[in-house]
Structure 1
């Protein structure tokens, strides 16, 4: 069974929307880009330049566009997921593909989400990925440092992302490296996602989400906050509106998908971080990134992986 994974901020690179589908993009990709441009009132192909991607708004909306476009193109090739999950803003693409919310409505919510996050912490903040310490060790290091940082993402048992100000992240970086962390690197994210600094932004997003129609998903959707399967419209609305405020338990989400019977994990573009994490967490599963190449070649790889898992 196939699970689609939708990446969050940090996966973006300049011109990644232009590279969707390779040298000869699939018609579904063109259609999705046009639909997104109409929904947002801007040519979305102007949003993936290096300059544009300095904006959290541009990053978040283009990531959702890329994921939905790729999923639709695969659908035209006869490939469909049996379950979905998305990391942070990727959850919006997952919800669209699961049939829980319309694409245009999701994009407008994402646009508001990103604007609220930028306004909450416009300068001097970000996120730090730490490899080599577990959650308990990280919690102890944060407490002893006295730095105003928070755990934002639990991507793997020993891959944790912290949120906070530039100064606080610099302080905790030095400490975790002295405590045995193998690596501590800043992400390409200019806001401190998934922590208390997003409290007010989350409250406003909850209010906006109440005006948007949500439906029960057609397939299982695994949420960010609790890493549980969410099957009702209200549960998914709440997950999307509040995930900017609470830590993302991504490793647990991947395990939840496996427990549902998913054995082929396909990462929507851009990037391959989520498939790498899935391969580490579930070595017997197949992990495929759609980062580059044609849609037809990606579909062929998914079919081959499904056959191999059945053998």
Structure 2
């Protein structure tokens, strides 16, 4: 079975999508539509901006979404997903790819999500850290024992888990996790504690937008971040999408379940090769491929 997977925040790079815009009439039309919907020329920032421009959450998230979704749309008849998934933000790309969301509604929700998360980050200083070389159970247990907000945020692959929380909570957790045998505990350059209780204000804001958006029955299931299960019911998809902001991304379990359900090829659509690497960490014999530029 063909599984298509979509990257999340952190995969952006200056110049992303430029070859699409210049070589595909459909891509150019969709990028210009996106500029109109967003009210600013995101294409200028994507194609000619700076790393700093692209690191701003309200630019990063729609930029990665647009690169992934427009790329998928230019594949035409070659694009036949039998299952889809996305990492955090990438779940919105996956939902456009499988027909749950229209391009326009997907972009509006991503833009709303980005601004809501940005506001939540500014309300209370917070951060994230990657924990390398320690089993998930130990990381979860140590986080639970700390008397600060600190939670597992991204179960990325075996031996790699990202934690999220208050500045103090992350500082204490990194010390304790290194003592417990972690090879590395790396603070991440992010604006806040994504996928933690500190995103509750953003979750409330996004919930209203999602409730007011039409979701259709998809052409294939989406394996959602919050439970790693294949979902095709639009109401369930909406509920899980809302929960995603404050719940951990269960990507390790997502890949395990997709493989168990018959995935034979994982194709990453969008910038970078991060997800292909994560798939290989779960099962190094699994076939992976990437689509990150115009294929015409």
Give 1:18 shift.
2.9
Give 1:141 shift.
2.3
Spell out the pairing of 1:1-311 with structure 2 (5 A cutoff): 1-18=1-18, 25-48=23-46, 49=49, 50-75=51-76, 78-122=78-122, 124-291=125-292, 294-296=294-296
User: How many Å separate the matches in 1 of 2:62 and 2:136?
Assistant: 30
Give 1:66 shift.
1.0
Deviations along 1:166-219, one digit per CA (max 9) or x if unpaired, are 343233223322322122223343121111111222122112211111111111
User: How many Å separate the matches in 2 of 1:181 and 1:274?
Assistant: 22
- Runs (4+) off by over 6 Å: none
Task: State the TM-score, normalized to the length of structure 1.
Answer: 0.87
User: How many Å separate the matches in 2 of 1:240 and 1:15?
Assistant: 29
Consecutive unaligned residues of structure 1, counting only runs of 5 or more, are: 297-311
**2:249 partner SS:** coil
**Do the aligned residues in 1 keep the contact of 2:268 with 2:289 (CA within 8 Å)?**
yes
Give 1:227 shift.
0.6
**Do the aligned residues in 2 keep the contact of 1:127 with 1:192 (CA within 8 Å)?**
yes
User: How many Å separate the matches in 1 of 2:149 and 2:126?
Assistant: 11
Consecutive unaligned residues of structure 2, counting only runs of 5 or more, are: none
User: How many Å separate the matches in 2 of 1:14 and 1:134?
Assistant: 35
CA distance 1:164–1:14, shift in 2 (3 Å) = farther
Give 1:294 shift.
4.3
User: How many Å separate the matches in 1 of 2:295 and 2:179?
Assistant: 45
Quick check: 126-135 or 166-175, which moved more?
166-175
User: How many Å separate the matches in 2 of 1:17 and 1:184?
Assistant: 33
User: How many Å separate the matches in 2 of 1:75 and 1:282?
Assistant: 29
Deviations along 1:70-110, one digit per CA (max 9) or x if unpaired, are 1112225x232211101111100000011001111111111
**Do the aligned residues in 2 keep the contact of 1:222 with 1:253 (CA within 8 Å)?**
yes
**Do the aligned residues in 2 keep the contact of 1:3 with 1:265 (CA within 8 Å)?**
yes
**Do the aligned residues in 2 keep the contact of 1:141 with 1:176 (CA within 8 Å)?**
yes
Aligned residues: 292
CA distance 1:186–1:254, shift in 2 (3 Å) = same
**Do the aligned residues in 2 keep the contact of 1:3 with 1:81 (CA within 8 Å)?**
yes
What root-mean-square deviation, in Å, do the aligned CA atoms of Structure 1 and Structure 2 show?
Answer: 2.0
**Do the aligned residues in 1 keep the contact of 2:148 with 2:166 (CA within 8 Å)?**
no
User: How many Å separate the matches in 1 of 2:169 and 2:162?
Assistant: 13
Quick check: 67-76 or 97-106, which moved more?
67-76
